[in-house]
Amino acid sequence: SDAGFIAIKDAFYNRAPIALAALDAEDGSGWEGDFMISSFSRSEPLEDVLTVSVKAEPTDSDREPQWID
């Protein structure tokens, strides 16, 4: 299994904040901080690939989301 997938799934089911970085490249720009996973849904069509849709929202924590360059 994919460790990132498991961490996001566990954060959703445990209603726990998770540290995320949504960057445009490995050392790129984007948002970084603690988020709550407010939606986690799987689609498993019989003749297609499994997909997961996730919605992450900023949360009250010591690490508020910030833009990094």
| 1 — pLDDT class (breaks 50, 70, 90) | low
What average pLDDT does the segment 31-52 reach? Answer: 90
pLDDT of residue 49: 84
Residues recorded for the chain? 69
Tell me the C-alpha to C-alpha distance, in Å, between residue 17 and each of 25, 26, 29, 46, 54.
23, 22, 22, 33, 14
Question: 24 — alpha (psi -120 to 50), left (phi > 0) or beta?
Answer: alpha
